[in-house]
Amino acid sequence: MKLRNQVALALLAIAQLSGPAYAQAVVEKSGRVIYTPIKWEKFVSVAGQPLPVPEQWLQDEEARIAHSLKLPDAVPKMLPFDFDKARWQALMPGKPNVALQYFNHLCDNEAGEWIFRKAENVEGLYFARPQGMPGGGMMTDPYGPEAPWVQRMPGVVDDSLRRQGSMFVSPPHLMFRFVEQPRRYLNWMNRTVAWQAHIMEPYIRLFGYTTQPDVNPDGTFAETRRPKDPAQIIGIAAPSARYAYTWRGLVRERDREHNIAGAELIIYERESKEIMAVRRNFVVSPKNARGPEKTLWELGATCPKVRGNMTEELLKLAVDVLKTAEPPTIVWSR
């Protein structure tokens, strides 16, 4: 028991020194590491946001870049919401509560997708902010995730070589030849990213994943496919991709108080920081039966409506904006 406590304390010390601020934890007498609700205490002004953002959101270079990106004027600006009026309306029979009124206000005035420029003959892209699966109680913490809509997407949080290596590189469905990412020693729960442990360079390139048709009992090829060649990974000194795909959370007045959170997916040119496309969504969490201080971000309603499944929500913007030489054959869900 004493040894287990020492190990737990050592892990906590490492988390406090080197891990993201998201993965806050405490050690009980039993040696068990448990999640501690996150508190936003310090806010930082950033170039790309109308309101200061929590300091926790700016823990690494790619996060700081994401929050520095300035959107074109065509993207709707933040509009004030009359909370006093909403409270009076919520008292009337058949009227929605304040949270739903606020959510509808954000959806009507801010949510949407804007594509400003498309690129042709794109070979690969830089996926700037892979994360890893949120653990503990993060997705039930009103202030836990930076961007609940994004951080519940399998393509962002499934921290495996197969998922990350096949997310954009999966011929003939998706025809990018490679995807590059920052090399990560620890994910946001301060766990080692084992499949990157042998890489010494600051970035990685994933490539080479292929599939082959399944075979029907009669010997004919099926429409479904299965893996053939696994994804390969190498370390690189710097990304070579011209275009980057990133995401960021949004801050709106009293949003988390009403279990609402906004986020943006952004595609931009790395050198010039030119914004090529933005998709802005908001999510409102239903009540959690475990208590008023809990949310259910993974079950929250979104606007605009999620297209297909959560993986497609991430992929479709990339496919629409970054055109590969050979067109993809992926069929999107309706």
160 or 253: which leads in pLDDT: 253
Is 145 in the same domain as 236?
A: yes
Within a domain: 329: no
Q: Are strands 124-127 and 211-215 parallel, antiparallel or unpaired?
A: unpaired
Q: What is the mean pLDDT of residues 203-207?
A: 96
Residues 156, 80, single domain; the answer is yes
Q: Is residue 215 part of a domain?
A: yes
Does 334 fall in a domain? no
23 and 70, same domain (yes or no): no
Averaged pLDDT for residues 209-231: 84
List the single range of 107-111, 157-161, 271-275, 326-330 with lowest mean pLDDT. Answer: 157-161
Amino acid occupying residue 81? F
Same domain, 31 and 49: no
Looking at the domain assignment, is residue 330 inside a domain?
no
Its domain, for residue 25, covers: 1-36
Residue 123 belongs to a domain: yes
Q: For 21, which DSSP code?
A: T
**99: in domain:** yes
Distance between CA atoms of 170 and 283, rounded to whole angstroms? 30
Distance CA 146, CA 29 (A): 30
**Environment class of 74 (CB within 10 Å of its CB; exposed 0-12, middle 13-18, buried 19+):** exposed
Same domain assignment for residues 139 and 19 = no
Q: In this model, does residue 107 exceed pLDDT 70?
A: yes
Per DSSP, which regions of the chain are E strands? 25-27, 33-35, 43-44, 53-54, 112-115, 124-127, 169-170, 174-175, 178-182, 203-207, 211-215, 221-227, 232-236, 243-250, 260-269, 275-284, 301-303
Answer yes or no: do 61 and 5 share one domain: no
What does the block give as tokens for 19?
Answer: 């891990």
10 has pLDDT over 50 = no
- 34 pLDDT above the threshold of 90: no
Q: What is the pLDDT of residue 189?
A: 56
Highest mean pLDDT: which of 92-96, 187-191, 290-294?
A: 92-96
CA–CA distance, 183 with 186 (Å, rounded to integer): 9
Kindly tell me if the per-residue pLDDT of 17 is higher than 80.
no
pLDDT band, residue 334 (cuts 50/70/90)? low
24 and 152 belong to one structural domain: no
Are both 134 and 200 inside the same structural domain? yes
Structural domain contains residue 327 = no
Tell me, yes or no, whether 176 and 313 share the same domain. yes
The DSSP call for residue 228 is: -
Which pLDDT does position 191 carry in this prediction? 63
Same domain, 298 and 191: yes
* pLDDT value at residue 21: 45
Average pLDDT over residues 267-286: 97
* More confident: 92 or 32: 92
Residues 27 and 7: beta-carbon distance below 8 Å: no
Higher pLDDT residue, 106 or 157? Answer: 106
Q: Which residue has the higher pLDDT, 36 or 53?
A: 53
Residue % of the chain over a pLDDT of 70: 86
CA-wise closest residue to 252 among 58, 45, 102: 102
Q: Is residue 328 part of a domain?
A: no
If asked whether residues 11 and 47 sit together in one domain, one would say no
Domain count, the chain: 2
- Greater confidence (333 vs 6) lies with 333
Shared domain check, 246 and 180: yes
Q: pLDDT per residue over 132-156, tens digit each?
A: 777 768 889 999 999 999 988 876 7
Q: How many CA atoms lie within 13 A of 117 on its CB side?
A: 11
Average pLDDT, the chain: 86
